[in-house]
Structure 1
C-alpha cells in the first residue's frame, strides 16, 4: 500500500453541513414587516487521524454579509485533552456558544447577541475529566482583533477566556466562565454563571452575566436570560410535524457599551465609550414546530414584547414584533 493510499484510508469522511434560517418579522407598533435570510452557513469538518481534526465554516449571509466564522485545526494528543488553534467562538457563556441551528428562539438573547458574543483568533486548551460526573475545562488566549482585522494587527495585550462545565446527573448542567477583552483602549472583564436542566422533554435554563469596564470608563453591565421549553411528541405518524414545543423567555440587559470610543456616533479614538444598547427587558413567547427532530428542521413562531425606560432609545429592529422563522440544518 502506498503512503498516499494509507493516508487516505486513515482519514474519516469529510462532513459537509449547512444551516439556512429564513424569516419574516412584523413590528406591531410600526405596522411594518420584512423578509430576511438571517444565516446561510456552510461548514466542512473531518478527521485526518484520531488525533487531528479540522473545521472551516463560512456564512454567506450573516445579516447580508459574507463572514468567515470558523477555521481551525484541533489536536488530541492524549485521551481527554484537546488543543485548538485558529479562528473560532471563544469558550464563554451558555447561550452565546450555541450555533444558529441550536437556538431555541428565532432571535438570540441579549447575552448571546450584544453582551457576550465573541469570536476571535487564538488558541485554546481543553480537558475533560471524570469526578463521578464529567467536567469539561476550557481556556484560551486570543488576539482581540475579531474576525477581519488580523493581517496588520499586533498587540502587547492578551485577551483570554476560561470556561468550566459540570455535567451533573439527571440532565443538570452548571457552567461558569470568564473573559477579558480589549476592543479599544479599555480592558473589559466579563463573568458569567448559568445552569440548566434538560430531561423528559423539558429544558429550564437561567444565566447571568456581569461586564466590568476598567478605570470606570463605563457603568458595569448586568444581563440576565431565562427560559423554559417543553417538547411534545406528535404521535400521528402521517403528520409532517414531529414535535410541538411551547417556549417562554425573559431576558434583560442594562445600558451596554461595545467598548469602543465614539464622537457624534462614529468610532473615533478622541471620543469616549457611549451607550450602544439602551437598557431593556423582553418577554418572548412562542411555539416551535419540529418537522424532523428538534434542531434539524424547525418552524419557529415567536412574539417579542420589549420594555424600555422612558429615556430608552429602541433600535429599528429592537421593538415589539411577531417572528416566523424556518430553520433547516443539513
Structure 2
C-alpha cells in the first residue's frame, strides 16, 4: 500500500481590482496499491478542492498480459486530452489551461479498457463508458445513454508524444462531442507542447467552441539549495463556451466569455521534479470590449508552493 498526497497553497493578486487572496487550492490524500499481482486499487480525496471536500479517484483495476491490457472500473478521470489528465503536482503552471479547466475537464463513474502495444513506437489506446452523472449523483441515476471516450497516445524516439482523443457527453438534453489533438516534445531540459480542442453541440444548440493550449518550459539545473529553475511561457485561448446546461429560458448561454491569455513564469524546484516547487506566474488576459470577465478570470500575479509526498 502506498500513501501519497498533494498540498498546494498560494497567494494571488489582481491589479485590475487591487485585491488579493490566500488559498489552499488542493489538499489531496490517496491510497493505492496491489492486492494481488493483477489487481490494483486507488482511492483519493481532496479536502480542499477550491474550498470543498470531494471524492476523486475510487477504482479497482485488473492488469493483464503483463500490464499490456488493463480493465478499470469505478470513479476516475475520463481518458481525454493531455493537459486535463495531469494531476495537480504534474502541472507546469500554477493555474490550469482553459482546456484543463473549462473545456476538457471531466471526471465520472464508469469502466475503461486500455491496451498497450508496439516496439520502437509504443502505443496506448484507452476507451470507456461512463454514467454522465458526475461524481455526486450515482445512487439514483439510471441511463440508457452512456457517455463514452477514447484516447490514443504514441511515442516517437522516446521524446515526442502524439495524443488524439474523442469524447461524447450529455450534460442535459443535448449531446456534446469533443475532439482533441496534441503533441509534445520532452528531452529532460526542454518541454514544448501544443494542444487543440473542438467542442460541438448537437442541433446547433450553441456555436462550436475552440480551445488552444501551447507552452514551452526550459529547465536549468542548479546545484545549491535548489535543484532546478524552470522558465515557462504559455499561450491559451478559449472561444465563447457553454458547459451544456440550459438556462431558465431553455437556451444554452456562454458561461465563459471568449478570451486569450499569456502566462509567463518561473518554477523553483526544491526537490525531485514535481515534488516540491515554488511557482511564480503572471497571467495577462485579453477580452473583447463587451465581455464581462469573472472575478477570478482577470490579470493576476500568482505565487504557489506545491508539495507532493
TM-score range, shorter-chain basis?
Answer: over 0.9
Cα offset, 1:293, TM superposition:
1.9
Give the aligned partner of residue 272 of structure 1: 251
Q: Which among 178, 181, 190 is matched to residue 178 of structure 2?
A: 190
Structure 1, unmatched stretches of 5+, are: 1-13, 264-269
User: Aligned pairs, how many?
Assistant: 308
Cα offset, 1:309, TM superposition:
0.6
Q: Which among 25, 28, 35 is matched to residue 38 of structure 1?
A: 25
- Map 1:157-306; keep pairs closer than 5 Å: 157-235=145-223, 239-263=224-248, 271-306=250-285
Structure 2, unmatched stretches of 5+, are: none
Between the aligned partners of 1:77 and 1:166, the Cα distance in structure 2 is: 20
Between the aligned partners of 1:175 and 1:66, the Cα distance in structure 2 is: 32
Between the aligned partners of 1:240 and 1:219, the Cα distance in structure 2 is: 51
Cα offset, 1:170, TM superposition:
4.2
Cα offset, 1:131, TM superposition:
4.4
User: Which portions of structure 1, spanning 4 or more consecutive aligned residues, are displaced by more than 3 angstroms?
Assistant: none
Between the aligned partners of 1:295 and 1:200, the Cα distance in structure 2 is: 13
Between the aligned partners of 1:68 and 1:95, the Cα distance in structure 2 is: 21
Task: Check whether the contact 2:73–2:110 (CA below 8 A) recurs between aligned residues.
Answer: yes
TM-score (norm 1): 0.92
- Map 1:10-159; keep pairs closer than 5 Å: 14-79=1-66, 80-159=68-147
* Secondary structure at 1:76 match in 2: strand
Cα offset, 1:313, TM superposition:
1.4
Task: Check whether the contact 1:243–1:293 (CA below 8 A) recurs between aligned residues.
Answer: no
* Secondary structure at 2:17 match in 1: coil
Cα offset, 1:164, TM superposition:
0.3
Cα offset, 1:197, TM superposition:
0.1
Task: Check whether the contact 1:300–1:326 (CA below 8 A) recurs between aligned residues.
Answer: yes
**What value does the CA root-mean-square deviation take over the aligned residues?**
0.8
Task: Check whether the contact 2:147–2:170 (CA below 8 A) recurs between aligned residues.
Answer: yes
Between the aligned partners of 2:214 and 2:64, the Cα distance in structure 1 is: 38
Give the aligned partner of residue 291 of structure 2: 312
